[in-house]
């Protein structure tokens, strides 16, 4: 992906080069959205929780994180990672925060939202299964390089706050995942409110809001095209 390497952070006394700031393009704007943290919600659609062997009635959704440096822009490449033979796609609505807070009320939560995007929570499923079995953290399954493809942001000022609409992923032109945003167990305002009791949210934070059913493996050469009604489209090549 393209990264800004002409940052004003140069020449400020750091003894090694400071890392470039990850960012996302914005639809209808030449401005760029600087990305701070990447949060993700696990098991936020009942049919996906069930396909993963969970019980959505007994186990509420939960959070994990990815590295902001793992973003891949629309039209980019996802290099099949090492140490896995079972990398899966998870198509997700991404929420981008333009304001922060902690202990945010559900009724005020959407005030924090800058816009929305189409994201892929790429997952080394074999490493995740092993981590679950051993009670270990998920980073090696979720936070690896290039694990967070994300489309351009569509500002809430243009599209509002979509609470329903088709979310789908096509693999090589065939539909693999399909759902509706209205099927989320935690709505976007509920996610923001809950997350803000665990972390101090800030401008630049992204939240991947969970995937509907139909997750499955990818292989080198696959073309992934995700779309969310009113929000946008994300095309990624697995290489
Ligand atoms: Mn996910």
Residue 12 domain flag = no
3-class SS at 122? Answer: coil
pLDDT at 168 over 50: yes
pLDDT at 30 over 50: yes
Residue 237 to residue 222: CA distance in whole angstroms: 6
Residue 130 to residue 84: CA distance in whole angstroms: 11
The tokens describing 136, both together, are: 């270990």
For the chain, the residue count is: 239
- Residue-range definition of the domain harbouring residue 65: 21-238
Neighbours of 45 (CB within 10 A): 25
3-class SS at 12? Answer: coil
Residue 16 domain flag = no
Distance (Å) from CA 5 to ligand 1 centroid: 30
Distance (Å) from CA 12 to ligand 1 centroid: 38
Average pLDDT over residues 152-161: 98
Give bridge partners of residue 227 from the DSSP assignment.
168, 233
3-state helix/strand/coil string of 15-54:
CCCCCCCCEEEECCCCCEEECCCEEEEECCEHHHHHHCCC
pLDDT of residue 9: 53
pLDDT of residue 11: 62
72, 149 Cβ separation under 8 angstroms: yes
Q: Grade residue 5 by pLDDT with cuts at 50, 70 and 90.
A: low
pLDDT at 8 over 80: no
Residue 160 domain flag = yes
pLDDT of residue 54: 87
Residue whose structure tokens are 């399954």: 141
Distance (Å) from CA 210 to ligand 1 centroid: 5
Residue 5 domain flag = no
Residue 10 domain flag = no
Residue 88 to residue 174: CA distance in whole angstroms: 16
pLDDT at 139 over 50: yes
Distance (Å) from CA 62 to ligand 1 centroid: 10
The tokens describing 155, both together, are: 């500002």
Average pLDDT over residues 37-62: 91
For the chain, what percentages of helix, strand and coil (3-state, to nearest 5) are there?
20, 35, 45
Distance (Å) from CA 181 to ligand 1 centroid: 14
pLDDT of residue 59: 85
Distance (Å) from CA 121 to ligand 1 centroid: 5
pLDDT of residue 1: 47
**CATH number of the domain where residue 218 is located:** 3.90.850.10
Residue 58's contacts (CB-CB under 8 Å, 6 or more residues apart) are none
Tally of domains in the chain:
1
Distance (Å) from CA 50 to ligand 1 centroid: 14
pTM for the model stands at 0.94
42, 61 Cβ separation under 8 angstroms: yes
Residue 147 domain flag = yes
pLDDT at 130 over 90: yes
Residue 220 to residue 216: CA distance in whole angstroms: 14
Distance (Å) from CA 239 to ligand 1 centroid: 21
Range with lowest mean pLDDT among 54-63, 130-139, 149-158: 54-63
Distance (Å) from CA 31 to ligand 1 centroid: 28
DSSP output for 187-198? -HHHHHHHHTTT
């Amino acid at each position: 992906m393209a990264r800004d390497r002409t940052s004003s952070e140069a020449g400020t006394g750091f003894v090694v080069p400071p890392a470039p700031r990850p960012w996302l393009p914005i639809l209808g704007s030449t401005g760029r959205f600087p990305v701070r943290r990447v949060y993700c919600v696990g098991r936020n659609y009942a049919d996906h929780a069930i396909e993963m062997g969970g019980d959505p009635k007994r186990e509420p959704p939960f959070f994990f994180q990815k590295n902001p440096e793992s973003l891949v822009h629309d039209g980019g490449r996802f290099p099949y990672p090492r140490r896995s033979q079972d990398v899966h796609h998870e198509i997700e609505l991404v929420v981008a925060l333009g304001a922060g807070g902690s202990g945010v009320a559900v009724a005020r939560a959407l005030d924090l939202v800058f816009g929305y995007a189409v994201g892929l929570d790429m997952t080394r499923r074999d490493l995740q299964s092993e981590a679950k079995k051993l009670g270990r953290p998920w980073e090696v399954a979720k936070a690896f390089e290039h694990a967070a493809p994300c489309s351009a942001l569509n500002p809430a000022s243009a599209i509002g706050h979509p609470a329903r609409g088709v979310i789908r992923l096509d693999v090589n032109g065939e539909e693999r995942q399909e759902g509706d945003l209205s099927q989320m167990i935690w709505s976007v305002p509920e996610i923001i409110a809950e997350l803000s009791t665990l972390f101090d949210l800030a401008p630049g934070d992204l939240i991947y809001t969970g995937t509907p059913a139909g997750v499955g493996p990818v292989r080198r050469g696959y073309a992934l095209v995700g779309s969310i009604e009113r929000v946008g489209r994300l095309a990624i090549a697995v290489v």
